[in-house]
Structures are given as structure tokens and as C-alpha cells.
């Protein structure tokens, strides 16, 4: 029995790690929140222990009638003074943390707009030039505090990368700001943390924390126009993309596709996931998404192209996969 209990405990502890765990911080803000969590757990245990000891004292140790003065001392001291001092200390410890995640960034500014149900991501250049537009994936340099400008269309969403920081609401018509400072490289899962409709649970995104020099190289590549299709299958896919009017909703820089309704697809093949985190970025998943989007994500605005021949689907997927 003891060994079984120990095994269960180890399994539960193993679940504390991972790319979407608040108990495995990978950024300065998440580490501060984790420290606050530990302090609050200790404080809660102290308060619980004091109440438990008081209960044991009056029910097991001293069960006789208690002098009025002692009783009043226990009630006032244990029920008022001790909790007020403890909670006051917690408040004094936690309040200074509120400002950290609202600090301005060190340079990088990213505007993120929550749609139903995906994320529009725009990297804003310091000189006020044309933003670099991506979707459903956020990339940040390690060791620098990046500023995020958050907004939403239609309904309230909430931006949350548990391994990097706390939650911030995204409100239509109002900009909210936060900043994140990753401390180690890696890929961390983010999620909308505010119920926003039928596909709320399917609105995730990847956050890639990169070494500064790797991030600079990636951003320079991301700013380039899309690569031309490199083989006959991808060329056929580009023709399907144009024929089916996909460019009315999606943009691919360097082509005639300039749509703004859906995600920017200029470098879609280089992303870690598809459909706002619900599928891996691979050809088979692209075919499945294009053909059955409405079945994979309820009430999504993208129609299902289930009438396309399999050869057309495969060619279109090959074209999109090659947009890296």
C-alpha cells in the first residue's frame, strides 16, 4: 500500500512538468508567479495548522471549561490577529509583482489580435514600417522583455502562456498590454483562457522562445515574400489556390492573394502547428484541414473544400507546405 501511494505521488509530480505547466516556469514572469504560489501554499498550511492545533487543544488537550480571558485570547488571536497579519504579509509580498508583467519591452513589440478562433500576430518594426504578419504562432527572443499589444474581434478572449507568464484579457475595441521575458529556449503551448464560443477549446498557439541571433534571422526570413512553388505538384497547388478563390480570405505576400479575413499564409509551412494548434504541420494534416475544416473546428468561418478531388487537395497541401 505504501509503495502504491508513493508511485501515485511520483506520477502526479511527473505531470507537473511540460510545455503548458505553470509549475515548470520558463520565463521571469512565470517564475515570479510560481514563487508566489509556493509562498501562498506555505501560508495556507500555516493558517490551517494553527486552526487545527487550536481545535485539537480545545477538544483533546483541554476539554474542561476554559477561563473567559483565555478563550477570548484564543478567538481574537487565532481568529482575527493571526489571519490578518498573515494575509497582510501576503498582500505586501504579492502587490509589487503586478507591475512586472505590465512593463514596457526592451525593443520587440508584437500586436496580437484574437479572432474566432485563431490568432493574428504582427511584429511591429521600431521605425514604424510595415509589420511582419504571421498567425497562430508567437516567437520571442530569450533574455529580452518583449511587449505585447492585445486586442480582440467580436468577443472577449484571454491570452495565456502558462510557462511564460500570467493571463491577460483581450477585449474588443480596447488595447491591453503585457510583456514577457523568456529565460530559456523551447516551444511552449499557449491557450485562450476565456470562453469565447464553440471552438474555444480549439484555440491554442505555439510560443517559440529563441536565442536572440536565431530570432533575428527568423524575423528577417519571415519578412520576405513567399517562395515560388518549386516542383510541378506545388505549382499545380498554387493554381488550385487561385482557382478556388483562397486569396479572397488569405494573404500570401508576393502573390495576388491579399485577403485579410483568415490567417496570413506567407510562411505557413514553417509553423509548428495548423488550425490554431489542433493539427501538426504536415501534408496529410493540411489535406484534412482544407477538406474538413468545419468538422474539425465547429463554427469556423473557413468552409470545407470537401468537393475537391484528392489530387487537387494533395497539390494544394504541397503548395502550402512549401511556403516556409
**Tens-digit pLDDT profile for residues 145-189:** 999 999 999 899 999 999 999 999 999 999 999 999 999 999 999
Give the pLDDT mean for 304-321.
96
| 238 and 202 within one domain | no
Is 14 inside any structural domain? no
Domain carrying residue 267: 232-321
State the pLDDT at residue 10: 46
Q: Considering 177, 210, 243, which residue would you say is the last residue of a domain?
A: 210
Assess if residue 173 is contained within a domain. yes
The answer to whether residue 134 scores a pLDDT higher than 70 is yes
Tell me the whole-structure pTM to 2 decimals: 0.85
- Which of residues 251 and 91 earns the better pLDDT score? 251
Domain check: are 43 and 75 in the same one?
A: yes
Is residue 140 classed exposed, middle or buried when 0-12, 13-18 and 19+ CB atoms within 10 A define those classes?
A: buried
Residue 110's pLDDT is 97
**pLDDT class for 47, splitting at 50, 70, 90?**
confident
**Domain end among 83, 100, 117:** 100
Q: Are residue 80 and residue 41 in the same domain, yes or no? A: yes
In terms of domains, do 158 and 113 share one?
Answer: yes
Shared domain check, 114 and 86: no
Residue 55's pLDDT band (boundaries 50, 70, 90)? confident
CATH number (domain holding residue 201): 2.60.40.420
Identify whether 227 is part of a domain.
no
The model's confidence at residue 83, banded by pLDDT at 50, 70 and 90, is confident
Same domain for 64 and 156, yes or no, is no
pLDDT tens by residue, 268-283: 999 999 999 999 999 9
Residues 135 and 169 occupy one common structural domain:
yes
In whole angstroms, give the CA distance from residue 97 to residue 85: 20
Q: Where are the strands (E) in 30-171, listed by range?
A: 109-114, 119-124, 132-135, 137-141, 146-152, 157-160, 168-170
| Number of domains comprising the chain | 3
Regarding whether 307 and 238 lie in a shared domain, the answer is: yes
Q: Does residue 17 lie in a domain region?
A: no
Who has greater pLDDT, 35 or 6? Answer: 35
Asked if the structure places residue 189 within a domain, the reply is yes
Amino acid at each position: 500500500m505504501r509503495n502504491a501511494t508513493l508511485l501515485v505521488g511520483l506520477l502526479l509530480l511527473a505531470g507537473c512538468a511540460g510545455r503548458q505547466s505553470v509549475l515548470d516556469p520558463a520565463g521571469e514572469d512565470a517564475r515570479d508567479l510560481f514563487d508566489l504560489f509556493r509562498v501562498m501554499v506555505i501560508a495556507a498550511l500555516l493558517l490551517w495548522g494553527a486552526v487545527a492545533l487550536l481545535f485539537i487543544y480545545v477538544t483533546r488537550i483541554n476539554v474542561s471549561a476554559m477561563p473567559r480571558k483565555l478563550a477570548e485570547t484564543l478567538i481574537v488571536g487565532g481568529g482575527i490577529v493571526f489571519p490578518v497579519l498573515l494575509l497582510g504579509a501576503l498582500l505586501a509580498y504579492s502587490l509589487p509583482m503586478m507591475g512586472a508583467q505590465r512593463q514596457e519591452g526592451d525593443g520587440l513589440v508584437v500586436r496580437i489580435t484574437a479572432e474566432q478562433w485563431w490568432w493574428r500576430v504582427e511584429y511591429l518594426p521600431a521605425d514604424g514600417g510595415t509589420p511582419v504578419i504571421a498567425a497562430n504562432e508567437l516567437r520571442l527572443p530569450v533574455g529580452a522583455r518583449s511587449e505585447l499589444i492585445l486586442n480582440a474581434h467580436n468577443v472577449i478572449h484571454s491570452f495565456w502562456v502558462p510557462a511564460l507568464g500570467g493571463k491577460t484579457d483581450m477585449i474588443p475595441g480596447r488595447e491591453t498590454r503585457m510583456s514577457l521575458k523568456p529565460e530559456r529556449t523551447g516551444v511552449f503551448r499557449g491557450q485562450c483562457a476565456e470562453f469565447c464560443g464553440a471552438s474555444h477549446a480549439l484555440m491554442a498557439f505555439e510560443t517559440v522562445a529563441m536565442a536572440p541571433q536565431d530570432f533575428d534571422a527568423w524575423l528577417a526570413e519571415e519578412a520576405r515574400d513567399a517562395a515560388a512553388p518549386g516542383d510541378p505538384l506545388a505549382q499545380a497547388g498554387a493554381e488550385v489556390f487561385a482557382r478556388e478563390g483562397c486569396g479572397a480570405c488569405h494573404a500570401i505576400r508576393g502573390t495576388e492573394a491579399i485577403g485579410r479575413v483568415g490567417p496570413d499564409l506567407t510562411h505557413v509551412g514553417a509553423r509548428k502547428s495548423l488550425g490554431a494548434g489542433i493539427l501538426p504541420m504536415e501534408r496529410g494534416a493540411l489535406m484534412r484541414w482544407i477538406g474538413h475544416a468545419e468538422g474539425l473546428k465547429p463554427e469556423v468561418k473557413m468552409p470545407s473544400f470537401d468537393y475537391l478531388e484528392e489530387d487537387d487537395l494533395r497539390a494544394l497541401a504541397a503548395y502550402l507546405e512549401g511556403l516556409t
